[in-house]
Amino acid sequence: MLNTSKSTRLVAPMRRPLRVYAFDPSRGRLLGNEMLLDVRYRPLAPGPVDKSGAHDQIAVVDYDASREVYYRPVDLDNPFVLIPNGISPSESDPRFHQQMLYAVASDTIEQFEGALGRRIHWRRAERPLNAPKGWLPDDILTLMLYPHAMQQANAFYSPEAHGILFGYFQAGREDPGRNIPGQTVFTCLSHDIIVHEMTHAIVDGLRGHFMEQTNPDVAAFHEAFADLVALFRHFTHREVLLDAIRRTGGRLYTPALKGDPLADLAAQSWLAQGDEERNPLIELAGQFGEATGMHKGLRSAIGKPKTMKELRDTAECHERGSILVAAVFDAFFTVYIQRAANHFRVSRAAGGHDREDLPSPLADALCNEATRTAKQFFQTCARALDYLPPVDISFGDFLRAVMTAETDFDPTDRDCVRDAWMQAFRRREILPDDALFFSEEALCWPARGDEVRVKGLPFGGPLGPTYQERQQTATVLKGFIDQGDHRRLLSLAPRVDYRIPSFHSLYRMNIDGSVRWDLVVEVVQTIPGSSATFPTRGGSTIIISTHSTGGGGVADYVFVRYVIPKPLHGAEGARRAAGQKAYLEQLGTKPGGTEQLRVNFALIHGGA
């Protein structure tokens, strides 16, 4: 079989190009709103339905539960569809809707897998520690995407539906923005909405308990995180980005675009006047927002310069989340401006003037910087997920996770990215509860040396561990936790059963190009609720590494690097339980089972 070079068999392609809207249909064909998305190749049934059997597979099923009908599914392998790179963008052809949904969802999955350094899977039902093998009915093996599930101005991820429901509705008769009054608006044609909902599904698959609303930050975090992912995607749409860079003079952070000949002063009056020419890069779901009479995109990245203090009691999770989004974008623009400044300096040195229109090579260079920075920020955000405690997360935890992930990934930090993050969060008073100082070292989760070794873990390979390796890992981890005083070491409550909802091997490239292997383990303990009490959860995220700052990276040299705890016991446990109780009572949650705690996205996204 070595002489395969002589085989005439065609190999399966790596990529499948598909046409989609870069934003949504309301932007028409201007400005690269039609784009070609190169998604991973998977064998597909009509739908499209992924037939690969991979753990991250998706299926588009066009069932309309409002009308109780099915719409004709698209066959992406039909030559008439293949040759022109998919069906051309159209609002009236449901097959294009299915194609776009499939393409954007696949792309989002790939982005996450790239950043996380592993393949993802969908939500798994909660199991005890030594559960029998096999699938449970609530496990999601294929994420179902329903492009026209309901006649509602809503789209939401629902584990009960094993997927995401996208609604459609008629735009307002009055004030529909760029839409025709009464026209049908499809949420499944909004790039942003698809990415946002996919992010919810992906995060729910990564961490089984992240969706449990135990403090006001939880739902807000999910909304903010999903918005961030969608927003950072905007910076990969090159044509739009170039146009925005030209029209903002490189100042991407301006919410309004200026008409070409206008000077800065005039641009400001435009800003004051309103938003006729809005900057698409920092706005989410434009058509949806307009159609519903809100005059602008659904949420804007840089509005609301509020602090946490002012919003102390904002339980409305989008508003609360918008602070986090604004903080991250503040950091992003700080880094972008630093990087862009170098190019401006070069341009000036070569005789350019700031007030002129940007020369094309400079615009190109700025465009590259924006894309690179956005990619870096997205990856930081995605990676930070692995550095979060397994339950009860807060914005402060997210900052600490970001700082730690960044430190692990790029210890030197020449561009002062970490400083930008810190300052942006500090301006909004998003502060961790437990860090002693607001310094880089204090904000990172405390890293341990290599004194606590974990023996006998298999490393697997970049394609993920085999079944046997997973079994072996589970056995080693159980042995490790039960050993000696390791419970205390791992901040686990004594005498409470624990579960290991997930562990993941990460194979990531450091900034210097070296490969690093880490194992992220979630350990969760639960005190069940009763008719009068709320359930409480605690636990730790344990990051086991081969890669100490001293060098390392030798097989068998495996140690606990981070323990990121949310203890169930002690003073901290009592404080959390009290806070959770107060919060849940305010929400009006009934005491009882843990299923009560989960965020209901159908409600959160209800028309928003």
Partner 1 sequence: MAVRTRKSTARTSPKRRAERPRPTTGRTRVPSRPSQGSASSPSANPSGTGNLWTPEADEIGIRVRMYRVGFGDFFLVTLLDDSGNAHHIIIDCGVFKGTSQTGDIGSIEAAVADMVETTGGHVALVIMTHRHADHIAGFARCVDTFKKLTVGAVWMPIWESEYEPTALRFQVELTRTALALRKHFTALGANVSEEYNTARKYMENATGEFDAAGAAAKGSNAVALDLLKHGFAGITPRYYHAGDKTDLPQELVNAGLSSQVLGPPPVADIDLMKLMDLQKGVGQYLTGDGGENAGHFEPFGAEWVVDPEQPPVKDQTDFYHPETFREWVSGRQRKSWGPVTREDARRARKSLERALQQLQPIAALTAAKTLNAFLNNQSLVVLFTFKSKKLLFVGDAQAGNWEHWVFATDTPDKKASGTIDPPARQILTSLDLYKVGHHGSGNATPKAVAEMMGTSGRPFVALCSTEANVYGTEDPDDPTKGTEVPRGPLLDKLASESALVRSDQIAITVNGKQIQAAVPATLPDPPRGVRLVLGPIWVDAYL
Residues 53-72 that bind partner 1 (CB under 8 A): 53, 59, 61, 63-72
Residue 154 contacts partner 1 per CB under 8 A: yes
Output the six-digit token pair for 343: 């190019």
Task: Using the structure block, give the residue that is written with the tokens 């900057």.
Answer: 279
- The CB-of-314 to partner 1 minimum distance in angstroms stands at 8
Helix (H, G, I), strand (E, B) or coil at 391: coil
Distance in angstroms (rounded) separating the CA atoms of residues 7 and 378: 42
CB of 131 to partner 1, least distance (A): 16
Q: By CB under 8 A, what part of segment 567-596 binds partner 1?
A: 582, 586-590, 596
Task: Sheet containing 559-566: give its strands across.
Answer: 498-509, 515-527, 536-545, 559-566
Strand pairing report for 163-170 and 184-186: antiparallel
Q: Which long-range contacts (CB under 8 A, 24 or more apart) does 507-516 make?
A: 507/117, 507/118, 507/461, 507/462, 508/117, 508/383, 508/409, 510/409, 510/410, 511/409, 511/410, 511/412, 514/553, 516/408, 516/545, 516/546, 516/547, 516/553
CB-CB contact of 94 with 71 (8 Å):
yes
User: DSSP letter at 503?
Assistant: E
- Please pick, from the candidates 16, 27, 42, 95, the single residue that binds partner 1 as defined by CB under 8 A: 95
Residue list 19-48, contact with partner 1 (CB under 8 A): 45-47
Among residues 120 and 521, whose Cβ is nearest to partner 1?
120
Tokens 């509020």 -> residue? 306
Distances in Å between the alpha carbon of 219 and those of 306, 316, 322, 428, 496?
Answer: 18, 9, 12, 19, 27
Pairwise CA distance, residues 61 & 162, whole Å: 12
Tell me if 295 contacts partner 1 by CB under 8 A: no
35 or 608: CB nearest partner 1: 608
Judged by CB under 8 A, the residue of 17, 40, 41, 75 near partner 1 is 75
172 binds partner 1 (CB under 8 A): yes
Does residue 181 bind partner 1 (CB under 8 A)? Answer: yes
Q: 194-253: which residues touch partner 1 (CB under 8 A)?
A: none
Smallest separation (angstroms) from partner 1 to the CB of 312 = 9
Q: Using the rule CB under 8 A, is 276 a contact of partner 1?
A: no
Could you tell me the smallest distance in angstroms from the CB atom of residue 581 to partner 1?
Answer: 13
Given 6, 173, 414, 495, the residue binding partner 1 (CB under 8 A): 173
Among 5, 92, 273, 412, binds partner 1 (CB under 8 A): 92
* 88 within 8 A of 39, measured Cβ to Cβ: no
Among 150, 327, 335, 403, binds partner 1 (CB under 8 A): 150
- Supply the minimum distance, in Å, between the C-beta of residue 185 and partner 1: 10
The contact pattern for partner 1, residues 307-346, with x = CB under 8 A and - = no contact, is: ------xxxx------------------------------
- Residue 466 or 586 with smaller CB distance to partner 1: 586
**Does residue number 602 form part of the binding site for partner 1 (CB under 8 A)?**
yes
For 379, 407, 508, 509, 510, the CA distances from 513, given in Å and listed in that order, are: 16, 15, 9, 6, 5
Closer of 306 and 427 to partner 1 (Cβ): 306
Q: At what angle do helices 317-349 and 417-427 cross, to 10 degrees?
A: 140
- Our finding on whether 74 is near partner 1 (CB under 8 A) is yes
What minimum distance in Å lies between the beta carbon of 51 and partner 1?
6
Quick check: 84 binds partner 1 (CB under 8 A)?
no
The Cβ-side half-sphere exposure at 517, using a 13 Å CA radius, reads: 19
Any contact of residue 608 with partner 1 (CB under 8 A)?
yes
Minimum distance from residue 457 beta carbon to partner 1 (Å): 27
Number of residues that bind partner 1 (CB under 8 A): 81
- CB-nearer residue toward partner 1: 242 or 291: 291
Q: Please give the Cα distance from 63 to 340 (Å, whole number).
A: 47
| Three-state secondary-structure class, residue 390 | coil
Q: Which stretch binds partner 1 (CB under 8 A): 173-181, 251-259, 455-463, 469-477?
A: 173-181
How many C-beta neighbours within 10 Å does residue 551 have?
A: 8
**Subset of 351-380 contacting partner 1 (CB under 8 A):** none
Nearer to partner 1, 149 or 500 (CB): 149
Contact in structure between 335 and 420 (CB atoms under 8 Å): yes
What's the min distance (Å) between Cβ of 121 and partner 1?
12
Q: Is 168:184 a contact under the CB 8 Å cutoff?
A: yes
Enumerate residues 119-148 that contact partner 1 by CB under 8 A. 134-135, 137, 140-142, 144, 146, 148
Q: For every residue of 22-39, which 3-state class applies, written as one string?
A: CCCHHHCCHHHCEEEEEE
- Return all residues near 578 (Cβ < 8 A) that are at least 6 apart: none
Does 153 sit near partner 1 (CB under 8 A)? yes
Closer by beta carbon to partner 1, 160 or else 451: 160
Amino acid, res. 220: A
Q: How far is the CB of 156 from partner 1 (least distance, A)?
A: 8
Near partner 1 by CB under 8 A: residue from 128, 174, 351, 484: 174
Site string for partner 1, 518-557 (x = CB under 8 A): ----------------------------------------
Taking the least distance from each CB to partner 1, the nearer of 162 and 487 is: 162
DSSP annotation of 279 reads -
The reply on whether position 82 binds partner 1 by CB under 8 A is no
- Nearest C-alpha neighbor of 217 from the set 384, 390, 386, 393: 393
Q: Which of residues 383-442 bind partner 1 (CB under 8 A)?
A: none
